[in-house]
Structure 1
């Protein structure tokens, strides 16, 4: 796992597949995570937090943008080790808790070989442990992280996909609804392709977005809103 600074208060944790983010909250309010990485990576995440000066008990929240295992896999172990509460979109909560199976994506023809390649890379990954969801969130909900973090419901990649918008600092976490792999684009492997295009447009319409952090691909730091709107105009 690799740790990359995005801004002076946000770091990206890169896993063999996918990535998560840790945030130092303003005003000595502790730390938060957006997504939790692949199963079996709790210890490297805790080591990364320690390297940033965060004690386990300072991790307040783990926000899961959606239910896929490369985003939820280490959530249960991290929550147990830190006492952090876990938050997720209401429509994905039952999957994350292990109560129902993950709905399969509806693949476009061009996505099939890419899907097969990704699945081959995950063949040795253990299944994610069921994870309690302490708070189910949806459109309009807010989190008090020393600054307001707004939940945006953006279904399409999964039914319960959420984005997290921090207007005061100009940051947007998109989960897998938007990717930056070679170019900015709607995410792949969706339950509803048109839904994820709508999710892209919705996030592009948000004001006060300077930095965008994605589930796959490099963050855009500086001018992210303008970049998203330029792509959305062609969708």
Structure 2
């Protein structure tokens, strides 16, 4: 647990469950994902000044990514950014869609269920900004929003072309190698999104789950996307 610098201006927050990322522009911070409910205390302990958080960007509407958004927003009013297709889930006005499990997913799902993660109550959060594909946010020299539905309807990736950094959310993971993320609603859409991300010019890839690849990530991502096969549903 704690914070670790990956590259200048880029850090990872290792949480009890999952992870989040921090981008720094001068004295201003952007928080990408917030962990499960209760992770806000860990994030506060890791950051020297929580008032420096200028925005919260949520990659998708699952408990381990937006679970502490409401609490962190309450600190100093940092606006919460979510794709429009997942905004109702984050606001608490719609239920999340259940995943279509594959044979690969099933044992992992049973483990996650045993931890209570998919069923934990999440405090609803205000969504200040509804995102769309192609939006550009004011950090990292211009952060491009890429809509990659499939894991959820409103899943996004965030690309910083100036720095060649990509945040994949759960569209791609690095668990025993670079793979398609698990627990998806539409794997065909996921694969299309994976290939779209692999076409980007990247040096560093930050995953929702698994270790970031700090250097030389582009060829690794492209090879993984090229060779990935659709998983069989159960």
- What TM-score, normalized by structure 2, do the two folds share? 0.93
Aligned to 1:7: 7
CA RMSD of aligned residues (A): 1.5
1:109 counterpart SS class: coil
Q: CA deviation at 1:123?
A: 5.6
Question: Cα deviations across residues 183-212 of structure 1 (Å, max 9, x unaligned)?
Answer: 0001000011111111110100112x1000
Tell me, yes or no, if the aligned pair for 2:147 and 2:156 is still in contact at 8 Å. Answer: yes
Aligned to 2:232: none
Aligned to 2:28: 30
1:95 counterpart SS class: helix
Aligned to 1:228: 221
1:147 counterpart = 2:141: yes
Q: CA deviation at 1:131?
A: 0.6
1:72 counterpart = 2:66: yes
Tell me, yes or no, if the aligned pair for 2:145 and 2:157 is still in contact at 8 Å. Answer: yes
1:171 counterpart = 2:169: no
Question: Cα deviations across residues 128-160 of structure 1 (Å, max 9, x unaligned)?
Answer: 100111001111100011510000000011000
Unaligned runs of 5+ in 1: none
For 1:121 and 1:11, the matched residues in 2 are separated by 27
Q: CA deviation at 1:29?
A: 5.3
Q: CA deviation at 1:8?
A: 2.4
Aligned to 1:105: 99
1:138 counterpart = 2:132: yes
For 1:129 and 1:206, the matched residues in 2 are separated by 35
Runs of 4 or more consecutive aligned structure 1 residues displaced over 4 Å after TM superposition: 123-126
Aligned to 1:59: 53
- Corresponding residue pairs, total: 228
Aligned to 2:212: 219
Unaligned runs of 5+ in 2: 229-234
